[in-house]
Chain A
Amino acid sequence: MHQTTYHRASSISEAVKMLKEAEDGKFVAGGQTLIPTMKQRLAAPSDLIDLRHIGELKGIEVAGNTVKIGAGTTHAEVARDAALAKACPALCHLAAHIGDPHVRHMGTLGGSIANNDPAADYPAAVLALAATVHTNKREIAADDFFVDLFETALEDDEIVTAISFAVPEKAGYAKFPNPASRYALTGVFVAKHADGVRAAVTGAGENGVFRAEAIEKALVGAFEASALDGTTVPADGLMSDIHASAEYRANLIVVMAKRAVQAANGG
């Protein structure tokens, strides 16, 4: 790792100020992506501004039909939140299967979506739940938030403060882990909303998380796994690497979608 100066912010405004004053600063939350990247010398920020001690970024609120989760909430906190488990158990399930216990107790929701790793789990949920991403500057619809591999709509000094979404009628997540990294080789989050079905795919797309139209269409009529029998998705635009060809990923999208629907339907 190169030399870096650590700062601890206690409020959002202080964090923004610290970043402004830094030569080439970066926010750090759980550090589960940023620190390994720095250790490999692929990133070398002059200053690290720690967001983990900002109270405003923490907490999970379920109020009526709306869920709001602070960006600083760790994966472990999301996994074990009792109110969220009632409102949207699929999200608890998703968080419980990120990385290992160490990663889950350090890594945060905000860090994960700001990083937008094409194999990360949360982006699929945020997109399928049609969530709103709240920042210190504005609100961004999920459909506009994820731009490309490791690229989001965020500006450099913009901090994700929370996400919020309307409780879906049903939701499910199924992930086929990469055997080595255990990130999603292909993960599908399906959500049945009052106004339709959204299915978002992570781990597979050449440009990161995306909505799978064929899956959504097939599920509109009947939100059942069997509705996906015979559905195929094109391999075009899917990633190919040593772990999975595009064709294999195309297959996994349908299989994981079925399993996500099964999970959403309670089994």
Chain B
Amino acid sequence: MGIEGIGARVARKEDKRFITGLGRYVDDMVVPGMKHAVFVRSPHAHAAIKGIDATAAKAMPGVIDVLTGPELKADGIGNLICGWMIHSKDGSPMKMGAWSPLAVDRVRYVGEAVAIVVAETRNQARDAAEAVEVSYEEMPAVTDAARALDAGAPQLHPEAEGNLIYDWEIGEAAAVDEALAKAAHVTRLKLVNNRLVPNAMEPRAALGHYDMAEDHFTLWTTSQNPHVARLVMSAFYNVAPENKLRVIAPDVGGGFGSKIYIYPEEIVCLWASKRTGVPVKWTADRTESFMCDAHGRDHHTEVALGFDADNRMVALKVDTIANFGAYMSLFSSAVPTYLYATLLSGQYVIPKIHCNVRAVYTNTAPVDAYRGAGRPEATYVLERTVETAARELGISPAELRRRNFIREFPYQTPVIMNYDAGDYEASLDAAMRAADYDGFPARREEAKKRGKLRGIGMSCYIEACGIAPSQAVGSLGAGVGLWESAEVRVNAAGTIEVLTGSHSHGQGHETTFAQVVASRFGVPLDQVSIVHGDTDKVQMGMGTYGSRSGAVGASAIVKALDKVEAKAKKIAAHLLEADEGDIVIENGEAKVAGTDKSLPWAQVALAAYTAHNLPEGMEPGLKETSFYDPTNFTFPAGCYIAEVEVDPETGHTDIVQFVAADDFGNIINPLIVEGQVHGGLAQGIGQALLEGCHYDPASGQLVTASYMDYTMPRAGDLPSFKVSTTNTPCPGNPLGVKGCGEAGAIGSPPAIINAITDAIGTNALDMPATPQKVWAAMK
């Protein structure tokens, strides 16, 4: 592996600029003549707009213009769309309500954008925004998805009767019911997967610049996928054709999914720049992030898991209501269907599975993919149910899991996914050893003496990464292909630039991707640069989410490297007067195997560009592109074990130990993988113990609109994690990698809740398990 190559613990190249404050984020960008935007937002959860009077606001100091929804419509700007078609079980297409980037006649959640104010300074824009008079006629609101389905509930969209977007199913309902009826034991649970606010450290921002001379737009935006943003804004929102729109996502301070989507603000800033003739910048404040970033999760689920007399799983039935908020965000429809129900087999042989999902509109912020996206929800359903079943059946949770593990690969689940490789027992064993599982009873006794209730809980998760084979997702309704692209440019002096369609917003691609390249030719890491996040520089790409950048993005780089290597070998063979098949490139040299003949890498590169002496008919240059389309998802899996102590007097939970044993396939950089796991665990533990987005059910106001009320995990809330990996290489891609970005957030919530319910001896507990809730559960 070498000290910098694949598998080496290389410190992140990008961290120096981040921790010295030299990162360049959208809000750092300055364009001559740039002005500042503030949005006028709805204070109501549901209201009709009776009129907007901006006369006073327009007359205020520094104000350039105030623009509203009707003007945007008049200019032909399109509605926001959801790009993944889901059909209900009756065959009808999902019911998508119109979402105008600026509300036209109705607002449907607190914070919905109604108008944009552009002014010389941000403060002036804010002053003027307060002076825009919007007359609203308030309407009754509904925030809870289950209640939104009730007869007589407030209705959000004429397109979606009863607030129902789709009623979708997978699997054979009748066969599952029959198997459950015959089962020796059925475990049933009702679970809530709490709504989360993503809380990226960098708030969203957009700087739209219309260049009148060139009739060309540039957008700097906080995006995980700038090319997709360009495509969608061109194809659906009529902002500008692709060749007239450049989208740049520079340093981006965290996304967790929330920066995949194209939001109203970006579209409006671009359009406003053309309308006003000035570049327009908007940066969200933290309250706007809480109100307007796409939220995550928010499921209500009923589950039944049947066992035969030997404690083998026979059937699983899941019924979920998914809260979509007021509008369908870009990938919202896929999250509780193909990213959720397809993972319900977990690590187990479950012969029959049926899942029904109803997607519902409510007067809340749109909900879409958030770190894990569907897989945390599936894992929570399954792993709480399995742990509960073990308690009901009087068998150890580990034993029940072992008895049901999938052991032969490939394994076709009843819910589409075909698992390619894994060794679930290996990660279970590793986790139990690391946790000293057998020593738990003694630790529980010792804790009791100190007046603490100690509990242990596990979670064996599986997830699907490397999203995704284009044809497969196309057949399931995706509006795009999910391949990735790479261009490897060897410069004349031998240094290398890699242009990737992946986008790094915390993942460390500048390091890991460079390791992949450096190890291929044996060149130093600092001679490799990774270029991403600019549609003018990089060929079309699909961006970063779903832990896809290793499995798909780096695979594209490998494919391009293959082509570069092949050409370089031809050149070297020609110059060294050797057979192409005898050339090896390593340690920065092209060598003739078995001889002492060699050429430095830089000379091979130079020869490609001087073109003085190339093989007959060869084009000059050393630069290759590849578009890599994966053949399957990848399936990271693992076992997490949490040990907690609950204070019976206050209900406060301390995590005293947390063990993660993951199977991520081959690992490019263990340091970065550990960092990803730590971050994922922090978010998973946040969901389990601390974070809960709360709307007041009567008014639809967002109660948790700041850190005064929304509990972000702090370092002090987290234990020192014990992480390790037991890896089975992924057979599906050239690097054998699976993906590690979301596992921590996927696997940890049920482990924590299982540990708490073990400690307190009651299973009726929903996330977040705040002290008050744990105390109430114990009463």
Contacts and interface: CB of A to CB of B under 8 A. Distances in A.
B775 interface: yes
Contact of B711 (A1, A2, A180): A180
A179 B123 contact: no
Given A1-B123, A255-B650, A243 B708 contact: no
Contact of A242 (B123, B690, B703, B771): B703
A244 B711 CA distance: 14
Given A243-B772, A244-B772, A255 B649 contact: yes
Interface in A155-197: 176, 179-181
A242 B694 CA distance: 8
A180 B127 contact: no
Nearest to A247: B776
- Tell which of B652, B704, B772 has the most Cβ of chain A within 10 Å: B772
Interface string A1-23: 11100000000000000000000
B709 interface: yes
B707 interface: yes
A252 interface: yes
Contacts of B721: none
B683 interface: no
16 contacts: A1-B123, A2-B127, A41-B126, A41-B130, A176-B652, A176-B771, A179-B690, A179-B770, A180-B704, A180-B712, A242-B694, A242-B704, A245-B776, A248-B772, A251-B649, A255-B650
Nearest to B768: A179
A176 B703 CA distance: 21
A78 B123 CA distance: 37
Interface string B751-774: 000000000000000000011100
Contacts of A3: 123
Interface in A21-40: 40
A251 B708 CA distance: 23
Interface of B: 123, 126-127, 130, 287, 649-652, 690, 692, 694, 703-704, 707-712, 770-772, 775-776
Interface of A: 1-3, 40-41, 176, 179-181, 242-245, 248, 251-252, 255
7 tightest A-B CB contacts, nearest first: A180-B711, A181-B708, A255-B649, A179-B711, A248-B772, A244-B772, A180-B709
Contact of B772 (A1, A2, A181, A245): A245
- Tell which of B650, B770, B776 has the most Cβ of chain A within 10 Å: B650
- Tell which of A181, A242, A252, A255 has the most Cβ of chain B within 10 Å: A242
A243 B707 contact: no
Given A179-B711, A179-B770, A244-B772, 13 more contacts: A176-B771, A180-B690, A180-B704, A180-B708, A180-B710, A242-B694, A242-B704, A243-B772, A248-B651, A248-B772, A248-B775, A251-B649, A252-B650
Contacts of A181: 707-709
Given A252-B650, A255-B649, A255-B650, A179 B771 contact: yes
A251 B775 contact: yes
B650 A176 contact: yes
A76 to B, nearest CB: 18
A243 to B, nearest CB: 6
A47 B652 CA distance: 44
Contacts of B776: 245, 248
B138 to A, nearest CB: 23
Contacts of B710: 180
B168 to A, nearest CB: 32
Interface of A is mostly: loop
Contacts of B712: 180
Nearest to A255: B649
Contacts of B711: 179-180
Contacts of B772: 243-245, 248
Nearest to B692: A242
Contacts of A242: 692, 694, 703-704, 709
Nearest to B647: A255
A37 B130 CA distance: 17
A243 B650 contact: no
Contacts of B707: 180-181
Contacts of A180: 690, 704, 707-712
A251 B127 CA distance: 45
B768 to A, nearest CB: 9
B713 to A, nearest CB: 10
B61 to A, nearest CB: 11
B770 A243 contact: yes
Contacts of A1: 123
A174 to B, nearest CB: 10
- Tell which of B123, B707, B708, B710 has the most Cβ of chain A within 10 Å: B708
A245 B651 CA distance: 13
Contacts of B652: 176
B492 to A, nearest CB: 51
A252 B709 CA distance: 19
Contacts of A248: 651, 772, 775-776
- Tell which of A179, A242, A251 has the most Cβ of chain B within 10 Å: A179
A245 B287 CA distance: 25
Nearest to B123: A1
- Tell which of B126, B127, B649, B692 has the most Cβ of chain A within 10 Å: B649
B12 to A, nearest CB: 27
B509 to A, nearest CB: 33
Contacts of B703: 242
Nearest to A252: B650
A55 B674 CA distance: 51
Contacts of B692: 242
Nearest to B689: A179
A33 B771 CA distance: 27
Contacts of A243: 709, 770, 772
B687 to A, nearest CB: 13
A242 B287 CA distance: 18
A141 B418 CA distance: 74
A180 to B, nearest CB: 4
Contacts of A255: 649-650
Nearest to A245: B772
Contacts of B709: 180-181, 242-243
A179 B709 CA distance: 8
Nearest to B130: A41
A179 B708 CA distance: 9
B291 to A, nearest CB: 13
B696 to A, nearest CB: 9
Nearest to A251: B775
B65 to A, nearest CB: 22
A251 B703 CA distance: 24
B57 to A, nearest CB: 15
A248 B776 CA distance: 8
Contacts of B771: 176, 179
Nearest to A179: B711
Nearest to A40: B287
Contacts of A176: 650, 652, 771
A254 to B, nearest CB: 9
Nearest to B694: A242
A255 B703 CA distance: 28
Nearest to A3: B123
Nearest to A186: B650
Contacts of A252: 650
A245 B772 CA distance: 8
A180 B711 CA distance: 4
Nearest to B714: A182
Contacts of B770: 179, 243
B364 to A, nearest CB: 15
B692 to A, nearest CB: 8
Nearest to B696: A242
A92 B709 CA distance: 27
Nearest to A119: B708
A41 B122 CA distance: 14
A255 B648 CA distance: 10
A3 B126 CA distance: 12
A56 B692 CA distance: 46
Contacts of B708: 180-181
